[in-house]
């Protein structure tokens, strides 16, 4: 008899887990997902956040964030994100770890049960009434010979993670936007010399960053230039650069190549369930609703003008509020 009972317990737990229907599942624990979590949990919505790595997202990759309001002296990226996680968990956000591989919706009758959506990680399937897609983006690659082979052996996409390995060495930074310039400035605390290689004849970065980078003695520039190859056998030894205007090629010798040439959205796992725009960013309306009812998207994974922590947080809040209204309508109740 006791044997039967001990065997029955884990099965029941598994069954409970599978049968449970969350009100909201958030995919991704960066600034957008954690903010959505804060809003949903304060509204006492039964919410689960699923994260494939560590909560914090891309913001933990940068040493200092100077443009998030409320921190006049700036705040370290990891510190800001740890605070956001603490705040969300403090309001009761449950976090599960795993990579979402698929999202499915049930087609069928117009009742509550048929509004249920499925979120799959490994062999586990979670059920929910709403989904908030906050899976962000990751660094674009240069897609040139040598890049993949020398990744981790001189090729890097994260200055905060790798800068100390390049103490007193010569590096290049590829890109001309805010991230490239911020990270180049940070790298000069470690390296002897940095060359910024940019495909245009001027930077896209914010003016205050331009002022800093142009007055930094350790930084020089290769304008109108494209990296066509990363050179080296065991480690990076240089880059082959082509001038777009003259067509001339030259080698810049260096030990490190830091690449900041934009992002690609983490939207592949949606497998055409949701309408995507150019470069596979998710399309939404003003309330963050995607092409599927009850599925919202926020942050860097969305098609939009400005990809920053502050915009990700704002959209996370809007998506959460819109999801809350949808859940209330579906259940015919108000949480307020
Ligand atoms: C080097 C660097 C410096 C930056 N500096 C600044 C700055 O100074 N100021 C500023 O405002 N912004 C800065 N940014 C941009 C800022 O970090 C992003 O705009 C912001 O993090 C976007 O937040 P997000 O929540 O939309 O996505 P992300 O931060 O990308 O978070 C998405 C999360 O989703 C998870 N995820 C992805 N796919 C899945 C999946 N299938 N299943 C489960 N989890 C998944 C990821 O692991 C990640 O944790 C910087 C970015 C970088 C890379």
What is the spatial distance between Cα 72 and Cα 219, in angstroms, rounded to a whole number? 26
Mean pLDDT of the chain: 92
Residue pair 128/116 in contact by the 8 Å Cβ criterion: yes
Q: What is the DSSP letter of 243?
A: E
Residues 58-115 pLDDT 10s: 999 988 999 999 999 999 999 999 999 999 999 999 999 999 999 998 765 455 557 8
CA of 267 from ligand 1 middle (Å) equals 13
Please indicate whether residue 135, judged by its CB atom, sits closer than 6 Å to ligand 1. yes
Best mutation site among 31, 53, 59, 303 for ligand 1 pocket (most ligand atoms within 8 Å of CB): 59
CA of 253 from ligand 1 middle (Å) equals 31
Sign of the Cα torsion 147, 149, 154, 156 reads positive
| Nearest CA owner, ligand 1 atom 26 | 299
Using CB atoms within 10 Å of the CB of residue 307, give its burial: 0 to 12 exposed, 13 to 18 middle, 19+ buried: buried
Please indicate whether residue 57, judged by its CB atom, sits closer than 6 Å to ligand 1. yes
Question: Could you confirm whether 16 is annotated as catalytic?
Answer: no
pLDDT, residue 10, reads: 47
Please indicate whether residue 265, judged by its CB atom, sits closer than 6 Å to ligand 1. no
Residues 235-281 pLDDT 10s: 999 999 999 999 999 999 999 999 999 999 999 999 989 999 999 99
The single residue of 12, 111, 114, 158 carrying the catalytic annotation is 158
Residue 269 DSSP SS3: helix
Residue pair 227/261 in contact by the 8 Å Cβ criterion: no
Please report the DSSP string for 86-108 in residue order. HHHHHTT-EEEES-EEEEEE---
pLDDT exceeds 70 at position 152: yes
The single residue of 12, 16, 111, 161 carrying the catalytic annotation is 161
Please indicate whether residue 281, judged by its CB atom, sits closer than 6 Å to ligand 1. no
Residues 224-237 pLDDT 10s: 999 999 999 999 99
Beta bridge partners of 133: 27, 297
Question: Could you confirm whether 162 is annotated as catalytic?
Answer: yes
* Overall average pLDDT of the 279-290 stretch: 98
Please indicate whether residue 52, judged by its CB atom, sits closer than 6 Å to ligand 1. yes
What is the spatial distance between Cα 303 and Cα 281, in angstroms, rounded to a whole number? 5
């Amino acid at each position: 008899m006791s044997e039967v009972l001990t065997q029955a317990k884990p099965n029941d737990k598994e069954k409970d887990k599978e049968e449970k229907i969350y009100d909201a599942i958030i995919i991704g624990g960066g600034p957008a997902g954690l903010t959505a979590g804060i809003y949903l949990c304060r509204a006492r919505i039964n919410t689960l956040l699923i994260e494939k790595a560590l909560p914090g997202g891309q913001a933990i990759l940068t040493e200092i964030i100077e443009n998030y309001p409320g921190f006049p002296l700036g705040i370290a990226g990891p510190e800001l994100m740890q605070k956001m996680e603490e705040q969300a968990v403090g309001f009761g956000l449950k976090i599960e770890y795993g990579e979402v591989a698929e999202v499915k919706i049930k087609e069928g009758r117009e009742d509550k049960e048929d509004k249920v959506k499925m979120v799959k990680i490994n062999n586990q399937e979670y059920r929910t009434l709403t989904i908030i897609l906050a899976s962000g983006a990751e660094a674009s690659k240069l897609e040139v010979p040598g890049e993949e082979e020398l990744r981790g052996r001189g090729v890097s996409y994260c200055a905060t993670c790798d800068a100390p390995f390049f103490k007193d060495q010569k590096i290049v930074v590829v890109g001309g936007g805010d991230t490239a310039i911020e990270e180049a400035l940070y790298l000069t605390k470690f390296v002897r010399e940095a060359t910024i290689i940019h495909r245009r004849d001027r930077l896209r970065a914010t003016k205050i960053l331009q002022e800093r980078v142009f007055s930094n003695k350790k930084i020089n520039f290769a304008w109108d230039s494209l990296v066509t190859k990363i050179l080296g056998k065991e480690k990076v030894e240089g880059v082959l650069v082509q001038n777009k205007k003259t067509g001339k090629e030259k080698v810049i010798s260096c030990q490190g190549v830091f690449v900041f040439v934009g992002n690609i959205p983490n939207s592949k796992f949606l497998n055409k369930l949701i309408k995507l725009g150019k470069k596979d960013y998710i399309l939404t309306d003003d309330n963050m609703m995607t092409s599927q009812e009850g599925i919202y998207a926020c942050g860097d994974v969305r098609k939009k003008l400005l990809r920053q922590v502050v915009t990700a947080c704002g959209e996370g809040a809007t998506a959460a509020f819109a999801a809350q209204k949808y859940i209330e309508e579906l259940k015919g109740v108000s949480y307020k």
